């Protein structure tokens, strides 16, 4: 039966078990500068050393993780801190007696066993199986209750999110749009089983389904991480390489509702990644990104545009035609309108996609165009106009100084 030895994280960082958080941080930084891959390019030994010190720092720099490590002798995210503390208390009560050795005790009844099939057990399932039983092992030791077996049932596929560029007019009037996505589908060769061929004896555990994990003075028999505790392995599917899923690029067509806004999120049910072990497919979320227009600018359901007018129209007032998203409309220019002034055409904007019968406005910013006077008659008229209207528009500006 194979045995996995504990890692001495304190020795890895070169600090004592009584080291403070500051000592650990300084030790890691010193070693990181020495073994970082950027400092030692193409150096496999330095790369492995950097991984070791990073792993040690991850555990020892976290107060909760370090406490579990000190109590049990190793760390896993699956270890219940309360059970680890109970184990530490029991061990401290036995310090005056002989060393505790559970090497001959079989914990196989608490987790895994031959009934845990390897079909469909990929890399992630094997990795989690190597640590997933520790909480049940501790529970069995201190409560005497046999842990329930963990089932590998159907798991739903993950959701996808893509941004889709939509034309300006499509978002206003509604229509169909397309987007190309890359998603996971069930492997057509193994039908999601991730394996092919007849099963064979696992070389890691020699068919026992168990390996030994050292925990201080204790030895735990845990499910083999390679076969998941079944003692048998199968060849990975050549199509999906043991994943049970393959990637496929697909063009998805979807409906754009009239009045759809920029940034709106559209859910396409069942268009995400495929599930495993018969689980349902995830969903696809499309984030709408609306294109620009050379004349109109859309803000929520309002339409903005700039309209040039003449000096005479601005001074005397007028009615001018302006473009709208439905064609054109007549806009009244009040006498004395200033350049940059905003005028509103009510309910000439975009129909709301969420509130029936409601629509935005059209906001028109007028720009007074100053003509180029190329003939003497026009210049003479302008001089006469200046004499008749000789108010200084800058008087109030200097009054504020």
30-88 confidence digits (pLDDT tens)? 998 888 888 888 888 888 899 999 999 999 999 888 988 888 778 877 676 766 776 66
Whole-angstrom Cα distance, residue 363 to residue 344?
5
Whole-angstrom Cα distance, residue 336 to residue 369?
14
**Sign of the torsion formed by the C-alpha atoms of 268, 183, 160 and 171:** negative
User: Using the 8-state DSSP alphabet, how is residue 398 labeled?
Assistant: H
pLDDT in tens, 305-316: 999 999 999 999
Predicted local distance difference test score (pLDDT) of residue 16: 92
Find all residues with CB under 8 Å of 283, minimum gap 6, and list them.
Answer: 159, 160, 267, 268, 269, 270, 271, 272
Cβ contact 358:334 at 8 Å? no
Whole-angstrom Cα distance, residue 354 to residue 259?
8
Per-residue pLDDT in tens (0 to 9) along the chain, 401 residues: 444 456 889 999 999 999 999 999 999 999 988 888 888 888 888 888 999 999 999 999 998 889 888 887 788 776 767 667 766 666 665 544 434 334 444 444 444 433 333 334 444 444 444 344 444 444 434 333 333 333 457 889 999 999 999 999 999 999 999 999 999 999 988 888 877 777 888 888 988 888 887 666 667 778 888 787 888 887 888 888 878 899 999 999 999 999 999 999 999 999 999 998 888 999 999 999 999 999 999 999 999 999 999 999 999 999 999 999 999 999 999 999 999 999 999 999 999 998 888 999 999 999 999 999 999 999 999 999 889 988 888 888 877 77
Strand partners, 308: 367
| Beta-carbon count within 10 A of 79 CB | 22
Q: Which residue has tokens 């009239």?
A: 258
Relative to beta strand 3-4, strand 210-215 is parallel
Cβ contact 337:308 at 8 Å? no
Q: State the Cα angle at 110 between 236 and 69, rounded to 5°.
A: 85
Tokens matching residue 56: 């040690």
Whole-angstrom Cα distance, residue 110 to residue 221?
10
Contacts of 276-279 with C-beta under 8 Å, sequence gap 24+, read 276/120, 276/154, 276/155, 276/157, 276/192, 276/244, 276/245, 277/120, 277/152, 277/153, 277/154, 277/155, 277/192, 278/154, 278/192, 279/154, 279/155, 279/156, 279/157
Predicted structure pTM score: 0.53
Tokens matching residue 288: 């709408």
E-state strands within 131-242? 160-166, 175-186, 195-201, 210-215, 218-223, 232-236
Residues in the chain: 401
Buried b (16+ CB within 10 A) or exposed e, 366-401: bebeeeeeeeeeeeeeeeeeeeeeeeeeeeeeeeee
Whole-angstrom Cα distance, residue 205 to residue 230?
10
SS3 267: strand
Predicted local distance difference test score (pLDDT) of residue 152: 58
Tokens matching residue 88: 């530490």
Buried b (16+ CB within 10 A) or exposed e, 233-260: bbebbeebebbbbbeeeeebeeebeebb
Cβ contact 288:166 at 8 Å? yes
User: Using the 8-state DSSP alphabet, how is residue 273 labeled?
Assistant: P
């Amino acid at each position: 039966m194979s045995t996995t030895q504990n890692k001495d994280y304190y020795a890895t960082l070169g600090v004592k078990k009584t080291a403070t958080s500051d000592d650990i941080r300084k030790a890691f930084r010193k070693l990181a500068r020495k073994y970082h891959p950027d400092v030692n390019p193409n150096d496999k030994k330095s790369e492995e050393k950097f991984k070791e010190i990073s792993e040690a720092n991850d555990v020892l720099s976290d107060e909760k993780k370090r406490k579990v490590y000190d109590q049990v002798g190793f760390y896993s995210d699956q270890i219940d801190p309360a059970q680890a503390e109970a184990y530490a208390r029991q061990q401290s009560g036995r310090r005056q007696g002989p060393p505790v050795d559970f090497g001959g005790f079989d914990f196989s009844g608490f987790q895994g066993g031959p009934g845990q099939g390897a079909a469909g057990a990929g890399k992630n399932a094997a990795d989690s199986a190597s640590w997933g039983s520790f909480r049940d092992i501790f529970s069995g030791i201190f409560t005497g209750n046999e842990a329930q077996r963990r089932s590998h049932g159907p798991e739903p596929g993950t959701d996808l999110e893509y941004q889709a560029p939509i034309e300006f007019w499509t978002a206003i009037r509604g229509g169909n749009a397309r987007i190309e996505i890359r998603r996971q589908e069930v492997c057509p060769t193994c039908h999601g089983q991730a394996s092919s061929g007849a099963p064979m004896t696992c070389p890691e555990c020699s068919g026992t389904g168990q390996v030994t994990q050292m925990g201080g003075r204790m030895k735990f028999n845990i499910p083999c991480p390679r076969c998941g505790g079944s003692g048998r392995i199968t060849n990975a599917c050549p199509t999906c390489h043991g994943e049970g899923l393959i990637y496929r690029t697909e063009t998805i067509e979807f409906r754009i509702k009239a009045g759809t806004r920029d940034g709106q999120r559209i859910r396409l049910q069942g268009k995400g990644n495929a599930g495993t072990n018969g689980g349902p497919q995830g969903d696809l979320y499309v984030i709408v990104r609306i294109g620009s227009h050379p004349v109109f600018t859309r803000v929520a359901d309002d339409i903005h545009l700039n309209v040039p007018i003449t000096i005479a129209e601005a001074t005397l007032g007028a009615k001018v035609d302006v473009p709208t998203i439905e064609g054109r409309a007549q806009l009244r220019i009040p006498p004395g309108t200033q350049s940059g002034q905003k005028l509103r055409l009510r309910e000439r904007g975009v129909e709301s996609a969420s509130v029936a019968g409601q629509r935005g406005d059209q906001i028109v910013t007028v720009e007074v165009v100053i003509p180029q006077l190329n003939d003497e008659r026009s210049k003479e008229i302008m001089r006469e106009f200046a004499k008749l209207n000789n108010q200084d528009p800058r008087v109030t500006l200097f009054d504020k100084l």
